[in-house]
Amino acid sequence: MEKAYEPKIYEDDIYKLWEESGFFNPDNLSGEPYAIMMPPPNVTGVLHLGHALENSLMDIMARYQRMQGKKVLLLPGTDHAAVATQARVEKNLVEAGMKNPREELGREGLLKKIREYSEQSKATILKQIRKMGTSADWSRLAYTFDEERSKAVNTTFVKMYNDGLIYRGFKVVNWSVKGQSTCSDDELVYIDREAKLYTFKYSKDFPITIATTRPETKLGDTAVAVNPNDKRYKKFIGKVFPVNFCGVDLKLKIIADEHVEMEFGTGALGVTPAHSGVDFEMYEKKKVEGDPIELIQVIDEKGKMTLQTGKEFVDKTVLEARDLVVEKLRAEGLMEKEEEIEQNVGTSDRFGDVVEAIPMTQWFIDVNKEIPGRGKSLKALMKEAVSSGLDNDKNKKVTITPDNFVNIYFNWIDNLRDWCISRQIWWGHQIPVWYRKVESRKSKVESIEDIYVGVEEPKDIENWTQDSDTLDTWFSSGLWTFSTLGWPNDTADFKTFHPTNWMQMGHEILFFWMARMILFSGYLFDGIPFKDVYIHGILRDKDGKKFSKSSGNGIDPLDIIENYGTDALRWSVLSGITPGNDSRFYTEKVEGSRNLVNKLWNVARFIEMTIVEAGGKLVRECKMPKAKTLADTWILSRLNKIIKDVVDNIDNYQFSQAAEVLRDFTWNDLADWYLEIAKIETDKSEVLNYILNTVLKLWHPFMPFVTEAIWSSYAKTSDDKQELLMVEKFPEVNVEWQEVIDFSMLQNIIINIRSVRGDYKIDPAKKINVTISAGDKKELLEENAEIIKRLARLENLQINQSANKPNDSVSFVEGGVEVFVELSGVVDFAKEKEKLGKEIEQLTKYISGLEGKLNNPGFVSSAPESIINQEKEKLIEAQEKLEKTNKQFQAI
């Protein structure tokens, strides 16, 4: 073995070995099925650190479960990411000098460009996933936009259409002018910005003043809403006022609406049904009430003013129109106030422009309508799956970790409106709806005979035209957990692996993705997509800032792998994380990780060397050895405890905790103590071999490469058949070992002697003498005398039943024994006296605290017995220590 672990030498070969072994494919494994679906990365570029975190989490779980003897499927895939990818490619084309890619290339031309880009991106991504060590089943690789997945999409669409849950409707939608497409409510990113609030009157004779930040939309106002209880305006309710607003004739009906706050602004609200979601709802409500108001669209799809606004405004941009309206209001003396306010506007998450509210005919999923035959809506279904379980069945319940996200999820569902699923971009699943060619677009909607909705295209295709819109990308990713398993076909995979066992994701896609997956599987087959969801936070930079291209703080995971190795990267992204919380990533952390990996390597190297020197060799199979010394008993019991901790922590999704427990054991207990002792006590081959085997297995899910590299080095020195660590059985807790308290006494004696040496600046090379007054620990200490002598660098060690404090010595009490460190000539008695005095003071305080507690009738009567006994033991121990310390104090 090399002096230091060189990841580059091993990683690619090991990954190849794993892949060729076939064990990534569950068909080659036996046991209980365990499935994890990889959240498919968008084919918009390359993977970032967040993906490194996700891959680490998934792979830890997959490897752990596989080693637990399960038939593990970690299914990899990628997402065509409709808008995101098209937006990226268009941006690239524009940067390369193209003015309007859609116009210049046309639908097929642009799609070709996007396809090329996405295939290239996909290839890169898949390579990166391999680099991260992910034990994914490549034979089942899926893509949200491939044929099988498209079939799942169409099947779902058709079923929902037939159930009346998908409908085509005319509504105000979020429209990105830049992207020339709709977006769903969830795709909006709200930003704060400065805006002007204008308070004005429509005309001189109009009795009510209103305020707005968007004067240009007021050209489309058809009503003014006031609170029905507002005394100021009550008399106007129901009246219609014809006004001439900036040269445009409007008819404004005064309507009552409870949602209008009397105290806010002027207490009256100009209603623009065509360009405000809220106002549109009022419009629909009035229509139902039989007291309709008009709807006038004044902004078109290009973000320009429509013909409706008259000669002066038509074809002006929104901003030009706004300036013009303001100018006119000022000129006519109708503007009452102009003030700067903070406002928060929705922007398109992919195109970045402020979205316009525009009325359009689009496809929607109705979340409130009852699902035929089920007696509940999609909304109810989504709630049920997370609260009681579908149909009150606990086996159909999704558990979210950490659980505070449950409330956030419910809150989102409560505010959920019908989901607009049609997009006008070209990259995506084209809506499986065809219209008769002969008909005009408007009549298509009105006549059922002219529309065809089907999984396959209609037979007489030449007479039909497919709807040109595509589906929201989350429609296809919402089907991911089962479309990847061959659904809608009745496959063995689907039966075996669905619902999947565990899913991890970032909290930013909770609504986009988790909610949609729950919706679809609940609707389609009354099931859940996964049993447990683990929500992780996002990785931030050293200063807590988000990693982003614009701030230029991005770190390429491949660079980290290149410089430090994959295992170090995995540990770095993982350590310090807790469910749902963000964490920070910086290079110092990676250095520490690299050191840890190297430490493990050297532990193995030392163990191998020790065993070989003793005439043996490392073997892969060895039973739990017999402990021959106190140190053996201690390390084996510690190891046993660690197995339990690791298993418990992983089972509770405390990945960082599990790994930290392992690190502490490996570095402190094993390397710093036991291996040092192994240099003193001989005949440790069996124990060392057993410990190394166990530790490698425990570490494997976290650091697959270095552990497999060490494991494979065994073969060179033994006759073992070539087997992979990745399919070894994970260690089990086999015996209930007691904690070995005596060993910590031994450790503390050594630490205290070292500390005395440090205090008196004794040359580390110089050997000194120590006398111990051991009482009933005499035998035990004698058995371990060599360890104390060597680790504390002693010349002579006297262990007596009882001993008096030698002259010129520094003393301390530890675990009921008194230790005298002889330092002829250099002892500072004043200092010792002070030190012991402090110790006594502290002990006295501690004891009186314990006594107070134990004399408190409340404590004795209400505390559990185990706690009381624990406190009693503490008291006795402290009292003994105080007594001995007092004696030593007086001896000075």
Q: Is 828 in the site for RNA (CB under 7 A)?
A: no
Which residues ranging from 479 to 508 are in contact with RNA (CB under 7 A)? 508
Q: Is 615 in the site for RNA (CB under 7 A)?
A: no
- Per CB under 7 A, which region of 142-150, 211-219, 494-502, 526-534 contacts RNA? 211-219
- By C-beta, is 167 or 606 nearer to RNA? 606
Which tokens in the block code for residue 156?
């779902």
**Shortest separation between residue 289's beta carbon and RNA, angstroms:** 19
Please give the full DSSP string across 821-863, using - where no structure is assigned: EE-TTT--HHHHHHHHHHHHHHHHHHHHHHHHHHH-HHHHHHS
- By C-beta, is 260 or 325 nearer to RNA? 260
Q: Is 703 in the site for RNA (CB under 7 A)?
A: no
Which residues ranging from 558 to 577 are in contact with RNA (CB under 7 A)? 576
Cα–Cα dist 281/283, whole Å: 5
Which one of 301, 439, 526, 582 is in contact with RNA (CB under 7 A)?
A: 582
Residue 786's φ and ψ, nearest 5 degrees, are: -65, -40
Which residues ranging from 44 to 103 are in contact with RNA (CB under 7 A)? none
Please give the full DSSP string across 124-158, using - where no structure is assigned: HHHHHHHHTT----GGG-EETTSHHHHHHHHHHHH
**Shortest separation between residue 649's beta carbon and RNA, angstroms:** 7
- Per CB under 7 A, which region of 90-98, 256-264, 360-368, 729-737 contacts RNA? 256-264
What's the order of all strands across the beta sheet hosting 419-420? Answer: 181-183, 166-176, 356-365, 419-420
Size of the site for RNA (CB under 7 A): 96
- By C-beta, is 35 or 254 nearer to RNA? 254
Q: Is 404 in the site for RNA (CB under 7 A)?
A: yes
3-state secondary structure of 697: helix
Q: Is 848 in the site for RNA (CB under 7 A)?
A: no
Cα–Cα dist 522/516, whole Å: 10
- By C-beta, is 806 or 849 nearer to RNA? 849
- Using alpha carbons only, give the angle 322, 327, 332 rounded to the nearest 5 degrees: 130
Which one of 145, 157, 452, 511 is in contact with RNA (CB under 7 A)?
A: 511
**CB count, 10 Å around CB of 207?**
15
**Shortest separation between residue 226's beta carbon and RNA, angstroms:** 8
CB 24 within 8 A of CB 71: no
Cα–Cα dist 192/367, whole Å: 30
H helical segments located in 415-458: 441-446
* Residues of the binding site for ATP: 549
Q: Is 352 in the site for RNA (CB under 7 A)?
A: no
Which one of 249, 290, 333, 344 is in contact with RNA (CB under 7 A)?
A: 344
Q: Any idea which residue has 């089920």 for tokens?
A: 374
- ω into residue 215 within 30 of 0, thus cis? no
Q: What is the DSSP letter of 720?
A: -
Contact residues for 710 (Cβ-Cβ < 8 A; gap 6+): 1, 600, 601, 604, 692, 696
Cα–Cα dist 299/822, whole Å: 93
- By C-beta, is 139 or 213 nearer to RNA? 213
Which one of 139, 395, 411, 682 is in contact with RNA (CB under 7 A)?
A: 411
Q: For residues 688, 689, 695 and 700, what is the CA-based torsion angle, rounded to 10 degrees?
A: 150
Q: Is 387 in the site for RNA (CB under 7 A)?
A: no
Q: Is 211 in the site for RNA (CB under 7 A)?
A: yes
User: Contacts for 842-850 with beta carbons within 8 Å, 24 or more apart?
Assistant: 843/878, 843/881, 843/882, 843/885, 844/882, 846/878, 847/875, 847/878, 847/879, 847/882, 850/874, 850/875, 850/878
Cα–Cα dist 792/788, whole Å: 6
- By C-beta, is 155 or 347 nearer to RNA? 347
**Shortest separation between residue 566's beta carbon and RNA, angstroms:** 14
- By C-beta, is 29 or 357 nearer to RNA? 357
Q: Is 741 in the site for RNA (CB under 7 A)?
A: no
Which one of 167, 464, 525, 606 is in contact with RNA (CB under 7 A)?
A: 606
Q: Is 265 in the site for RNA (CB under 7 A)?
A: yes
Which tokens in the block code for residue 273?
């049904």
Which one of 343, 387, 717, 718 is in contact with RNA (CB under 7 A)?
A: 343
Residue 12's φ and ψ, nearest 5 degrees, are: -65, -40
Which residues ranging from 271 to 310 are in contact with RNA (CB under 7 A)? 276-278
CB 122 within 8 A of CB 43: yes
Q: Is 867 in the site for RNA (CB under 7 A)?
A: yes
Which residues ranging from 353 to 372 are in contact with RNA (CB under 7 A)? 357
Which one of 392, 489, 862, 869 is in contact with RNA (CB under 7 A)?
A: 862
- ω into residue 33 within 30 of 0, thus cis? no
Q: Is 212 in the site for RNA (CB under 7 A)?
A: yes
Cα–Cα dist 769/882, whole Å: 25
- Per CB under 7 A, which region of 75-83, 117-125, 598-606, 623-631 contacts RNA? 598-606
**Shortest separation between residue 371's beta carbon and RNA, angstroms:** 24
Q: Any idea which residue has 């084309």 for tokens?
A: 93
Query: What single-letter amino acid sits at 339?
Result: E
* Residues of the binding site: 549
Cα–Cα dist 144/119, whole Å: 13
Could you tell me the CA-to-CA distances from 427 to 430, 431, 472 in Å, in that order? 8, 12, 10
- Per CB under 7 A, which region of 205-213, 283-291, 497-505, 769-777 contacts RNA? 205-213
Which one of 213, 229, 587, 824 is in contact with RNA (CB under 7 A)?
A: 213
Q: Is 581 in the site for RNA (CB under 7 A)?
A: yes
**Shortest separation between residue 539's beta carbon and RNA, angstroms:** 10
Exposed/middle/buried for residue 114 (C-beta within 10 Å: 0-12, 13-18, 19+) = buried
Cα–Cα dist 645/638, whole Å: 10
Which one of 171, 444, 536, 594 is in contact with RNA (CB under 7 A)?
A: 594
Which residues ranging from 164 to 193 are in contact with RNA (CB under 7 A)? 185-186, 188, 190
- By C-beta, is 174 or 481 nearer to RNA? 174
Which residues ranging from 429 to 458 are in contact with RNA (CB under 7 A)? none
Q: Is 863 in the site for RNA (CB under 7 A)?
A: yes
The neighbouring-strand residues paired with 194 are: 342
Which residues ranging from 647 to 676 are in contact with RNA (CB under 7 A)? 649, 652, 654, 657, 660, 664, 667-668, 671-672, 675-676
- By C-beta, is 315 or 582 nearer to RNA? 582
Length in residues, the chain = 892
Which residues ranging from 616 to 645 are in contact with RNA (CB under 7 A)? none
Give the residue from 146, 151, 147, 140 showing the smallest Cα distance to 35. 140
Residue 191's φ and ψ, nearest 5 degrees, are: -125, 150
Which one of 333, 373, 375, 764 is in contact with RNA (CB under 7 A)?
A: 764
- Per CB under 7 A, which region of 84-92, 94-102, 410-418, 771-779 contacts RNA? 410-418
- By C-beta, is 487 or 564 nearer to RNA? 564
**Shortest separation between residue 764's beta carbon and RNA, angstroms:** 5
Which residues ranging from 531 to 560 are in contact with RNA (CB under 7 A)? 544
Q: Is 348 in the site for RNA (CB under 7 A)?
A: no
Q: Is 602 in the site for RNA (CB under 7 A)?
A: yes
Over the window 414 to 433, marking each residue x when it contacts RNA by CB under 7 A and - when it does not, the resulting string is: -x------------------
3-state secondary structure of 315: coil
Q: Is 4 in the site for RNA (CB under 7 A)?
A: yes
- Per CB under 7 A, which region of 465-473, 699-707, 757-765, 817-825 contacts RNA? 757-765
Which one of 98, 237, 256, 408 is in contact with RNA (CB under 7 A)?
A: 408
Q: What is the DSSP letter of 526?
A: S
